[in-house]
Amino acid sequence: MDSRLFESHDVCDYIAPRCYVGRLRIVTIRDLLSAQRTSQLFLDRLIRSPRAIRSGEKTIDYDSFPEVVVSDDPESARSDNPVTGYNLPEVAYSDAPELEKQGIEIYDGLEVVALQEPSTRTVTPLHLLGHQPDWIDCPFCERRVRTITKKKPSNLTHMQAAFLLVATGPGAAIPYAAKWGFNTEHHCENCDNKVAQLSKGKYVFVCKCDALVAASLDGFVFFPPDAEYEASISSYYSVAVQQLRPWCIVRPHTSEQVSRALTALVAASPAGSWDIAVRGGGHSHFASNNVANGVTIDLSRMNWTVYNKDSELAFIGPGSRWGSVYSEIEKYERSLTGGRLASVGVSGLVLGGGISFHTGTRGFACDAVKNYEVVLANGSIVNANEREHVDLFKALKGGSSNFGIVTRFDMETFEAAKGGIYGGILRYNYEHKAAVLDQLVRMIDMNHEHPEDAMPIAFMSSGSGPTTIIAYTVNTLGIENSTSFASLAALPNIGDTRRRLSYGQLISASPDSSGERTVWFSICFQNKIKILTKLMDLYDGLVADLRQVIAEDDLSVQFVLQPLPIHYSQKGAGSNVLGLDQTLIHNSVVWNAIVDVKTVEQEALARTQLAALVAELETFTALNDASTPWRFLNYVNPAQDPIKSYGEDNVQFLKDVAAKYDPQGVFQTRVSGGFKVSRVGL
């Protein structure tokens, strides 16, 4: 046979004149390999005939499908016997009450039966559907749908077709077509995406949740609308994050379960892109801790604090929030360097550095960590401290989520102030703006003399009311009349909540907005009244502009100013990666802008306005030689680049550590959240 025959003609060109239907022929290897090139053409025509395809069926681009997860079910033996309803494996079904016969009627032999609809409240997960997936929660269109079955030729089919074409001709091949090795695929009836297929006797699923079940985590994996799933989603700080609906949520209770979950997800789809999210306390203002097309590992069930009297360390779970942490350790008359709002999570704050009311005397929150327990990308669980994995220990002090999942923070504690700390809120009318700013500049410049004093100031506008000034004055030693606040306290105020109380009581009394769409930006600049005055002019313009286009009840604007004196960099100099020992050379201010709105459109508008304001402020500070290049990771917008501000040496160090402990780049390309060292400067 001339092998060129298969290279230059469509199969229809040579079937009639050149093939000997029904006659046995001698076949060479060359003939077989050449024939294989046209087998796809022949099969395409065959399966598109009225006998092999339903009318109106769509053509699918199979190469565009996402990665799938292979089931651990044992491989089925091949059989030429047709599949009947009697040899199908048992499948899970809803226990909803039986419905009356109605809806679409189908034939089962000669008897007409009504198609029974499953409960709309109960969905059988893919892994329980056996070899006949029927109703699923589609991960693509996020709807509960029925699946439709399609057939796709397997590699074996191509070989069979090529052999039969050469040996007997297509006419004789057709009777054998029913026995060829087609793969069965299940597609979403609504969006037509493939959700499962039967290949080589095994079902493989698009949904990575089945990999978690295969890892014996089925009791910790939740699907919509499970109560645990909805509880996790509704507990996020930001509405924008709440509206992301992962395919499923796994809520581990132990480090070992975190390891199994991460290992299963990484192996499930190694070519994915940011399809895994990790959630600690859930207080992020942007979608760094949840995902839509993927799986969220929710650590909120690992919410525990244990105090060890011998080591004087607090062992803190990654799902803990600061309110519960202080509530526990204060039972032992201890305190630690933690957050300033009870609802803020431990993990995100500490991994980003973390400013505390204790920072002036004890450094950043990350400086108080003596050991991290970490699950690495390969599933191993390690401890990072001053003796083990020393490089990882340093990298985690401000390096965000670039290296692994921290499953325990071991933090040093110290004796709490006798009788409590002294602090609270002084509230002022906006007309005292200039005087309050003057007192802030004075307090920052003298803070090295009174490092136990902290004084963040917020300018707040909500609804149609006037802007209010809130000064948080805190003395962590419990001194009531600190000279740092004397001049400020002398100004006429409209509210004073200062009193003696524990640190935990103070942060629990502080208000925290949630349930909104929120936009944050942050920069730092030198502690100069000229810059602060310019900033408040920009604030006035922003509030006026936003009120023109956003309903008053939908809008809240805050500008928060926090002290960043030089001595803040000295406690953790060299032991963390924040780089303040190189970049903080003048007393400075951390500015954080927060705009809360109600709708997606308002959020986009607020983001645009704030980005323009930040650019103008950065230009102004540069022209007045008042720039401070450091950016506080916990406050910045995702469009900003805080890790770059740590300095070239620290950035390279972080990249080296990430490459060492995560050589496959799982936390750079698969796990969302934080700020990735691989993207610094891009």
Instruction: Tell me, yes or no, whether 400 lies in a domain.
Output: no
Is beta strand 295-298 parallel, antiparallel or unpaired with respect to 276-279?
Answer: parallel
Question: 51-101, pLDDT tens digit by residue?
Answer: 333 334 334 343 433 443 333 444 333 333 333 333 333 333 334 333 333
Quick one: pLDDT at residue 110? 36
Distance of alpha carbon 371 from alpha carbon 409, whole angstroms? 6
Joined tokens for residue 192: 């037509």
Quick one: pLDDT at residue 354? 97
pTM: 0.72
Instruction: Tell me, yes or no, whether 70 lies in a domain.
Output: no
Report how many domains make up the chain.
2
Torsion of CA 350, 352, 355, 359, to 10 degrees: 70
Q: H helices within 139-254, ranges in order?
A: 155-167, 170-173, 209-214, 227-234, 239-242
Quick one: pLDDT at residue 27? 40
Instruction: Tell me, yes or no, whether 25 lies in a domain.
Output: no
Instruction: Tell me, yes or no, whether 247 lies in a domain.
Output: no
Residue 566, burial from CB neighbour count under 10 angstroms (0-12, 13-18, 19+): middle
Quick one: pLDDT at residue 282? 86
Cβ atoms of 609 and 546 closer than 8 Å: yes
Task: Give every residue of the chain whose pLDDT is below 50, as ranges.
Answer: 1-133, 173, 176-180, 199-206
Instruction: Tell me, yes or no, whether 271 lies in a domain.
Output: no
What CATH number has the domain bearing residue 559?
A: 3.40.462.20
Joined tokens for residue 256: 């070992």
Distance of alpha carbon 654 from alpha carbon 661, whole angstroms? 11
DSSP of 319-377 = T-BHHHHHHHHGGGTEE-S--SSTTSBHHHHHHT----TTHHHH--GGGGEEEEEEE-T
Tokens 């239907």: give the residue.
21
Instruction: Tell me, yes or no, whether 135 lies in a domain.
Output: yes
Domain that holds residue 148: 126-161+178-206
Maximal C-alpha separation, the chain: 109
Instruction: Tell me, yes or no, whether 513 lies in a domain.
Output: yes
Quick one: pLDDT at residue 652? 97
**Phi-psi category of 389—alpha, beta or left, where left has phi over 0 and alpha has psi -120 to 50?**
left
Quick one: pLDDT at residue 147? 78
Instruction: Tell me, yes or no, whether 358 lies in a domain.
Output: no
